[in-house]
Structure 1
């Protein structure tokens, strides 16, 4: 089983980029971590058209809150101008489930937010434009404490013209070593 998460990064993420847990790029989680045996190409095929069919989402950073079991993780809540984030979440989850992905127990109390990190954070009153969707493989076998971007798509772009690419496409472009 491989573990993944679907996020809306504050800044676009490049396929095959890796980062440590401490250096997670700032993002809004769209679909919380899930484990699956479904291949990355199948996950990409589910999510790319969702991103292509979704307009970028303007959002405002709202008040701070404390998350986590001990309420010790500082986050900034994010609100869009309607219900675009919950609606996108529902569409992405449906697309994954249609590809036989068991998402496990997803939260019913979805609260879009950006977690404050040592390297940065957002602040109340900031305006965000969420225009990229990314699929992150968590703790890939080659690096036990890293995340790796395995799919990244600009939202609102035709699937064939998306600025992002799947891992298979990125691997095909990578020079042989």
Structure 2
């Protein structure tokens, strides 16, 4: 009998890159990829607005760190951390766009296949502007390196060594 392969640690940048702050998660992932070398057991992906196409990534990774914007009351540019339990409790809505499947539905597909991650953490900011632009607003851009540092610290907590390029 073979032992199951250990899952990778997943880092997913979610968002629409051409809608200014909506692309925050993608910007953070690009920043990490441009500035750091990750070991083979870390899968860092620009998921964009891939929706259901995110299922294989979720099935291959555990834990998963999702970087995105969040639609909640609060100050634009403010950082908010959530767990999968928060999402399941309805504390906030994770949907990459109105016409796509939400993350919970995608997780259910992975669960049916017996491959859903047990741990998902959400690193989010409240957007200021959702206009056509590939540049983040100043207030949201100010959070990019801070959130990247949180992800790097979390990897260190898990015993993962990441080196600067």
TM-score for both structures, normalised by structure 1 = 0.28
Specify which structure has the higher proportion of helix: 2
Q: What is the TM-score with the length of structure 2 in the denominator?
A: 0.29
Greater share of strand: 1
